[in-house]
């Protein structure tokens, strides 16, 4: 059972906009910034979003992040076939004194 809650799956058609939610509590998302990671099969995770809504250099602007209260969301617009993979949210937890991850969301492009 992950501390941060993500839907196990999400889907969309090419060109569509999809969102992936990440729900936490006051000790993690509510008081710390959220990051998002993309993990292609058999590869290491890649940073997608940091500080709730900032994109590292090289990440397409199709990817965006937001946070409100104890929840965060990752939005992917103009969905492409190569976006079909796993996505994880993460945040520091002040009560656990450690980083916590969501359980991951497998995105399918129909």
Partner 1 sequence: EVQLLESGGGLIQPGGSLRLSCAASGFTFINFAMTWVRQAPGKGLEWVSGISGSGRTAYYADSVKGRFTISRDNSKNTLYLQMNGLRVEDTAKYYCAKDQGGSSGWSDYWGQGTLVTVSS
Interface residue list for partner 1 (CB under 8 A): 2, 32-33, 35, 37, 39, 43-47, 50-51, 56, 88, 90, 92, 96-104
> CA–CA separation, 4 vs 60, rounded Å?
25
CB count, 10 Å around CB of 44? 7
CB 104 → partner 1: shortest distance, Å? 4
Closest approach of partner 1 to the CB of residue 61, in Å:
18
d(CA 39, CA 54): 18
Quick one: 18 or 100, whose CB is closer to partner 1? 100
Least distance in angstroms from the C-beta of 84 to partner 1: 17
In sequence order, which residues have a C-beta less than 8 Å from that of residue 65 and are 6 or more positions away? Answer: 34, 36, 48, 49, 52, 53, 54, 72, 73, 74, 75
Beta carbon nearer to partner 1, 16 or 42: 42
Nearer to partner 1, 28 or 71 (CB): 28
**Separation CA 34–CA 51 (nearest Å):** 6
Give whichever of 13 and 57 is closer to partner 1, judged by the CB atom.
57
Give min distance, CB of 49 to partner 1, in A.
9
């Amino acid at each position: 059972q992950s501390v941060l809650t993500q839907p196990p799956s999400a889907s969309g058609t090419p060109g569509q906009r999809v969102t992936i939610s990440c729900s936490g509590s006051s000790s993690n998302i509510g008081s710390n910034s959220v990051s998002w990671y993309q993990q292609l099969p058999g590869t290491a995770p890649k940073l997608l979003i940091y500080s709730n809504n900032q994109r590292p250099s090289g990440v397409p602007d199709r990817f965006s992040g937001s946070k409100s209260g104890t929840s965060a969301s990752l939005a992917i617009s103009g969905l492409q076939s190569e976006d079909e993979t796993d996505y994880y949210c993460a945040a520091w937890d002040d009560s656990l004194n450690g980083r916590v991850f969501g359980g991951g969301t497998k995105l399918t492009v129909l």
